[in-house]
């Protein structure tokens, strides 16, 4: 039996595990994660009201329940186990750690209280145990920057009908905070035109049709666009925006503003954000944008950067800091000179950058696993006896198991059921450790 370690139990890692099982009956897979909970971005990134996408966990659960798969939760790469130890203990190692950091705007006032990354808000409403509590007290106007699906997600959660949010798995404290919120205006600001926005049409339409929310789109942003060369998604986005611009919502409880061709140049406030300054933009040289010098000031108590995620390097593993990825040739890890490093592979956002939807990881993992299995076929199984368990025992690391996760799962279902909800997330380390056992 050959043994493969997959570092990261998110969608990319679990699609890789699935492909490994399907591709070779002689392979066993150990999946490691820093958290005691598997499913990564499906659990902690996919919006809580997108229950359809969250249901992919059923596929992943079957993968983890397979006899040839072992889940090691609460094991952090670089702290609890090193690259060298994994390479000693396994025939191959697959890095599937995603992109956990966010990008900054680099403008004055970005450090004010009330200026945050959308990632922090997503982590909070998804009940991630590392998330800081987010207060919406006194927040009436929110401005998000970036016109991708993350901006659409956070805008939708902030504007959604409060009763609808109770049908999600949000932690109770998050639900209470959102129920009490007095957000009346949400702005989505793009530095280029609507034809350049990266959100997908289904997600955009869902946002534009929230009950009781008046969408406002500047008509001139939608004029003079040559649609002949645009793909279906972009034409769909433009049609959705045009419809929204023409729609009048009776007695709206909130307003959604979509503002294009504007970039943030300053956040203002005394310690706490109270306004953002936007500058008009126009197409510049070489596909870039230039500033028009014309500025507008929008009152805002919360500004959210949704301008893309960024991966962190893994200790001792090659990293391309410019692209924010582990460099590879179709998933085979390479060093700075482009030489393939034997037995090391990469999948997901840490391989291709933070793009694509959950399903994109399936074809991405298939490419990497095809190469991995081809390489394995030419090699003798290493058959290291103690494996990861021995390394962890020697270091005194108490890892968690798939059975531990099942207990967390049952506890969350019971917590939700008691309140008539499908699930309520356990959102603290103490709460999770309390279920798993071991020191809090």
Q: Which residues bind ligand NAP (CB under 6 A)?
A: 105, 145-151, 153, 190-192, 196-198, 203, 263, 306-309, 354-357
Task: Give the shortest CB-57-to-ligand NAP separation in angstroms.
Answer: 16
Q: Rounded CA gap, 55 and 237, in Å? A: 26
To ligand NAP, the closest distance from the beta carbon of 382 in angstroms equals 36
Please identify, using beta-carbon distances, which residue of 124 and 145 lies nearer to ligand NAP: 145
Nearest to 401 by CA among 1, 4, 9, 3: 9
> In angstroms, what is the minimal distance from the CB of 355 to ligand NAP?
4
Q: Closer to ligand NAP by CB, 151 or 244: give it.
A: 151
Q: Could you tell me the smallest distance in angstroms from the CB atom of residue 260 to ligand NAP? A: 10
Q: Is the dihedral of CA 412, 418, 423, 429 positive or negative?
A: negative
297: CB partners within 8 A, 6+ apart:
268, 275, 276, 277, 278
Q: Which is nearer to ligand NAP, 24 or 102 (CB)?
A: 102
Closer Cβ to ligand NAP, 126 or 149, answer by number: 149
The nearer residue to ligand NAP, 104 or 377, going by C-beta atoms, is 104
User: d(Cα 260, Cα 193) in Å, to the nearest integer?
Assistant: 5
Distance CA 104, CA 248 (A): 36
CB of 318 vs ligand NAP, minimal distance in Å: 23
Give the whole-angstrom CA distance, residue 180 versus residue 390. Answer: 50
Q: Shortest approach of ligand NAP to residue 116 CB, angstroms?
A: 14
Strands (E), 211-319: 213-217, 254-259, 262-268, 275-283, 289-299, 302-305, 309-310
Query: Angle 422-428-74 (CA atoms, 0-180°, nearest 5)?
Result: 100
CB 90 within 8 A of CB 342: no
Least distance from ligand NAP to the Cβ atom of residue 295, Å: 15
User: Where is 173: in which H helix or E strand?
Assistant: helix 172-180
The residue (of 95 and 260) whose beta carbon lies closer to ligand NAP is 260
Give 150 or 415: the residue with its C-beta nearer to ligand NAP: 150
Q: CB-wise, 171 or 348, nearer to ligand NAP?
A: 348
| Contact (CB, 8 A) for 345 and 333 | yes
Contacts of 245 (CB under 8 A, 6+ apart): 215, 216, 217, 218, 219, 222
| Minimum distance, C-beta of residue 370 to ligand NAP, in the bound complex (Å) | 23
Toward ligand NAP, which CB reaches closer, 29 or 306? 306
Rounded least distance, CB 212 to ligand NAP, Å: 22
Question: How many whole angstroms separate alpha carbon 136 and alpha carbon 158?
Answer: 10
Nearer to ligand NAP, 348 or 387 (CB): 348
CB of 262 to ligand NAP, least distance (A): 9
- Residue 235, CB-side half-sphere exposure with 13 Å CA sphere: 7
DSSP state of 327: -
User: CA dihedral defined by 297, 303, 304, 310, rounded to 10 degrees?
Assistant: 80
**Which stretch of DSSP H or E encloses residue 58?**
helix 57-65
Residue showing the smallest CB distance to ligand NAP in the complex: 148
């Amino acid at each position: 039996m050959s043994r493969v370690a997959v570092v990261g139990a998110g969608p990319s890692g679990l699609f890789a595990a699935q492909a490994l099982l399907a591709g070779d009956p002689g392979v066993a897979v150990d999946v490691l994660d820093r958290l005691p909970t598997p499913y990564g971005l499906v659990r902690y990134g996919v919006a809580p009201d997108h229950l359809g996408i969250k249901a992919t966990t059923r596929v992943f659960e079957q993968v983890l329940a397979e006899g040839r798969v072992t889940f090691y939760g609460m094991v952090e790469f670089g702290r609890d186990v090193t690259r060298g130890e994994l390479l000693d203990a396994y025939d191959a190692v697959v890095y599937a750690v995603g992109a956990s950091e966010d990008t900054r705007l680099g403008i004055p006032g970005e450090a004010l209280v009330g200026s945050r990354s959308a990632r922090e808000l997503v982590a909070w409403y998804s009940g991630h145990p590392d998330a800081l509590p987010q207060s919406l007290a006194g927040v009436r106007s929110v401005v998000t920057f970036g016109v991708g699906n993350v901006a659409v997600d956070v805008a939708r959660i902030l504007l959604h009908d409060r009763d609808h949010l109770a049908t999600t798995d949000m932690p109770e404290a998050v639900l209470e905070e959102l129920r009490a919120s007095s957000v009346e205006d949400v702005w989505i600001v793009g530095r280029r035109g609507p034809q350049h926005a990266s959100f997908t049409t289904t997600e955009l339409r869902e946002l534009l049709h929230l009950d009781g929310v008046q969408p406002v789109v500047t008509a001139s942003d939608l004029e003079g666009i040559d649609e002949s060369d645009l793909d279906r998604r972009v034409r769909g986005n433009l049609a959705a925006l045009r419809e929204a611009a023409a729609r009048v919502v009776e007695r709206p409880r909130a307003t959604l503003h979509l503002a294009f061709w504007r970039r943030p140049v300053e956040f203002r406030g005394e310690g706490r954000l109270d306004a953002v300054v936007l500058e008009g933009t126009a197409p510049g040289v070489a596909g870039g944008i230039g500033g028009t010098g014309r500025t507008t000031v929008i009152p805002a108590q919360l500004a959210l950067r949704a301008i893309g995620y960024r991966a962190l390097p893994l200790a001792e593993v090659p990293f391309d800091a410019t692209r924010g990825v582990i460099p590879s040739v179709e998933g085979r890890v390479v060093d700075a000179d482009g030489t393939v490093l034997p037995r090391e592979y990469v999948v997901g956002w840490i391989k291709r950058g933070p793009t694509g939807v959950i399903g994109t990881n399936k074809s991405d993992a298939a490419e990497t696993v095809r190469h991995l299995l081809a390489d394995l076929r030419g090699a003798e199984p290493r058959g290291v006896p103690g494996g990861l368990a021995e390394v962890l025992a020697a270091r005194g690391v108490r890892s968690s198991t798939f059975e531990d996760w099942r207990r967390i799962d049952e506890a969350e279902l019971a917590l939700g059921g008691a309140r008539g909800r499908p699930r309520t997330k356990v959102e603290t380390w103490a709460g999770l450790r309390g279920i798993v056992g071991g020191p809090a």
